[in-house]
Each structure stands twice: as C-alpha cells, then as structure tokens.
Structure 1
C-alpha cells in the first residue's frame, strides 16, 4: 500500500509516517520511481508506534525497543527500559503537581492580597515590607 492509504488506515498523517521513517521506526520499500510502499502489516506497526508515543516514549526509546518487540521477546532489559520511562514520567508528573500547587498559591495571593505579599498595599508602596514601620 502507498503512504496515503497507510495514513488513512491508521489515522496518522503522511508527515508523521515520513518522520517514523526518518527515525528508523518504519521502513517502506520503494518503487522504481521512488514511491514508498508498505506491507499490510505496517498499519498494525504504526498503531503500536502511536500507542508507545502516547505512553510517553521517545522515538529513540521506541527504536531501542524495536528488536525485542519484533521478536516478541520481553527481555529483562526491555522491562528495565520501560520501568525507567515510567519513573521518568512519574517524576515529570510530580514536577507538574508542584508547579500547579505553586500556581494555586499565587492565585490565592492574587485574590487575597496582603501588604506582606503585595507592594502596592505597603505604606509607602515602594518600601520593602521588612523596612516598613509595621514590620
């Protein structure tokens, strides 16, 4: 099948399919005129690549896992790579939670300003809080 048909079958853009090829994740054959052709099994492989991307894996990690996936053999190294990726994603989620919590505190302070946190409420407004007479 040609690239357009593979794109229609998988819901993936032709641009993404070319990217997969550039990254070594998908290897089409070429017609004498240079057009890409794919076997029917390519659709299933593209869907798997999409699932791996959705799971947060990079193209480099997917490429690293490809031999094990093609062989249908989950090696200890494969599981270690997947566990490391899960740990990386968990750490990123923790960082996002911390950022969200900090933003919640800023929103609270913006809605409930005090002289300690809002220079405009200080007397005089330009004076640092620690130097004001009330401190």
Structure 2
C-alpha cells in the first residue's frame, strides 16, 4: 500500500510514517520511481509503535525496541537485549496503571463532590455561595481542586 493508504488505515499522517521510517521502525520497499510501498508487516509494526507513542512512550524507546535485534551479533545477545527492554516496558506499564488507578479514584471522588451542585442557582464562588459544599471539601480530591478551586478564576 502507498503512504497515504497506510496513514488513513492507521489514522496518522504521512509525515509521522516517514518519521518512523527514519527511526528504523519500518522499512518500506520502493518502486523504481521512489514511491514507498508498505507491506502488512510494516502496518503491524507501525501500529504498535504508534500505540506506544500515543500512550506516552518516548520515540527513542520505541526505536530501541524495533531495532534491538538488528544491532546484535547473536540470537542470545538479541534475546537478552529484548528481554531487558520488555522488563523495562512492563515496569513503565505497571507504573502508569498505578497512576491511572489512583487518578480514577480521585475522579470518582471529584465527580461525586461536584454533582452536589447540580441544582445550585448560585454563582460558583465564595461570595455568592458561602456554604458551597465543594468549597468546604475541595481538598479531598486533586481534580476538584483543579476544577473548582475557590481562589482561582
């Protein structure tokens, strides 16, 4: 497939695809005229690379994952290098899962707190709503502090 087709299929841009090609994540074939032709394996490699990037993994880390094997002189060296990178990736995923779980709990607290004001006719500030239930409990959740901080605009 051509670069535009691949970009559309993976919901990305040709420029992004060329970046991943420069990093060595994918290596399309070329026609005699220089047109890039991508195979299914390129699409699969790029799909996981884009997924990792979307989730916050740095491009250098993605490049290392994609190119570890080619930089090694033996299968044993390649396997050891790949396993090291996979262990690192697992740690990064676990850390993010922990942070997302904590954020989800905070979101639930903020949602419950802020829903108390669904029927409130007052302006959401200390002057117009001195008994605001959120104002009294704003420190119970980081998201509520971000959304409803009584001292911020």
TM-score class normalised by the smaller sequence: 0.5 to 0.7
Residue in structure 2 matched with residue 49 of structure 1 by the alignment: 49
- Give the superposed CA RMSD: 4.1
Contact map agreement 1:31 1:37 (CA 8 A) in 2: yes
CA distance in 1, matches of 2:25, 2:119: 53
- Alignment TM-score, normalising by the size of structure 1: 0.54
Contact map agreement 2:25 2:67 (CA 8 A) in 1: no
CA distance in 1, matches of 2:96, 2:56: 7
Partner of 1:26, secondary structure, is coil
Contact map agreement 1:56 1:89 (CA 8 A) in 2: no
In structure 1, which of residues 89, 96, 115 is the aligned counterpart of residue 96 of structure 2? Answer: 89
Aligned length: 120
Relative to 1, partners in 2 of residues 1:110 and 1:5: Cα closer, same or farther, differing over 3 Å? closer
Larger Rg: 1
Show the 5 A alignment for 1:75-86.
75-86=82-93
Superposed displacement of residue 32, structure 1 = 7.9
Partner of 1:25, secondary structure, is coil
Superposed displacement of residue 100, structure 1 = 0.6
Structure 2: state its 5+ residue gaps. 121-125, 137-153
What does the per-residue CA deviation read over 1:6-64, in whole Å, with 9 as the maximum and x for residues that have no partner? Answer: 3356554323313323555334567787x452452423322332444466544332112
- Alignment TM-score, normalising by the size of structure 2: 0.50
CA distance in 1, matches of 2:9, 2:119: 54
Partner of 2:25, secondary structure, is coil
